[in-house]
Amino acid sequence: MAPPPILALALPSETGRVLSIQSHTVQGYVGNKSAVFPLQLLGYDVDPINSVHFSNHTGYPTFKGQVLNGDQLWELIEGLEANNLLFYTHLLTGYIGSVSFLNTVLKVVDKLRSINPGLTYVCDPVLGDEGKLYVPRELVSVYREKVLPVASMLTPNQFEAELLTGLRIVSEQDGREACNTLHSAGPSKVVITSINLDGDLLLLGSHHKDKGQPPAQFRISIPKIPAYFTGTGDLTTALLLGWSNKYPDNLGKAAELSVSSLQALLVRTINDYTRAGHDCRSSSLEIRLIQSQDNIRNPEIKYRAEMYD
């Protein structure tokens, strides 16, 4: 008797099939726990590979668990390939803690594109934030020299964009120039997810649609919330993947939807912690992802992209 078809391949969703290589926690929402559910809500089939499997995120006093190495990642890819399961429309990557694992991810990109040359690779280059590196410094050069040339969309924060371009970002024009530098290295879509300029918070996006033409660039003003949340970067990149695929020629629209979803979720998180009697400024907060699914599926656009001339 012939085995039944894999319906995700035989009858693919209109949106796509995503391989997401990120961290995983049993409790809480970071990495794949923050990215898979929103993408599924937006209609994507998502296959997660967990680069780490921890009890909770590392901001807690202690954590336990296991770390996947490059050989183990490749073994999973070989298992998928042996069963003809390796067709994906998108690859999504987040936190990667070692050069060896990142080099294996690059092998995965090559393998996936040998099967689907049109694969979109969305990369969140998690390196650090606010002047502090989270990873070994040698990862920066690997991202610069090997990852940028194969990435389709890049979603760094301000510090990461500075690391990858060697430019200081102290103005909006600096941010736009950083996007241009990143475009020249590879990705046609760049979203600097947060830029802090004199106390104002911005998202800055850039889509280089045609060679020889300047990129379409925009800004979105974001309200500052006096609290620290975990998993928001992973969620933001997942939302940008989801919406930019639905609006492939309108990155500004995709960013409006993503920011509006995220801000509604953060407001709900703050309100719920406050109702529980917690001082939201005293510690990092776990996001209220499940409770915000309507805001993810059908966000009300409250934050608008302002195009640059």
**Closest alpha carbon to 229 in 278, 287, 274, 275:** 287
- Tell me which of 45, 234, 279, 294 is the catalytic residue: 234
pLDDT in tens, 205-259: 999 998 889 999 999 999 988 888 999 999 999 999 999 999 999 999 999 999 9
Task: Check residue 178 and give its pLDDT.
Answer: 98
pLDDT in tens, 252-293: 999 999 999 999 999 999 999 999 999 998 888 999 999 999
**Closest alpha carbon to 134 in 219, 263, 55, 30:** 30
Mark whether 234 is an active-site residue.
Answer: yes
Q: For residue 76, what are the contacts with CB-CB under 8 A and spacing of at least 6?
A: 49
Q: What is the mean pLDDT of residues 97-109?
A: 96
Residue 2 has pLDDT above 80, yes or no: no
pTM: 0.96
Distances (CA, A) of 31 to 6, 34, 182, 236: 26, 5, 24, 11
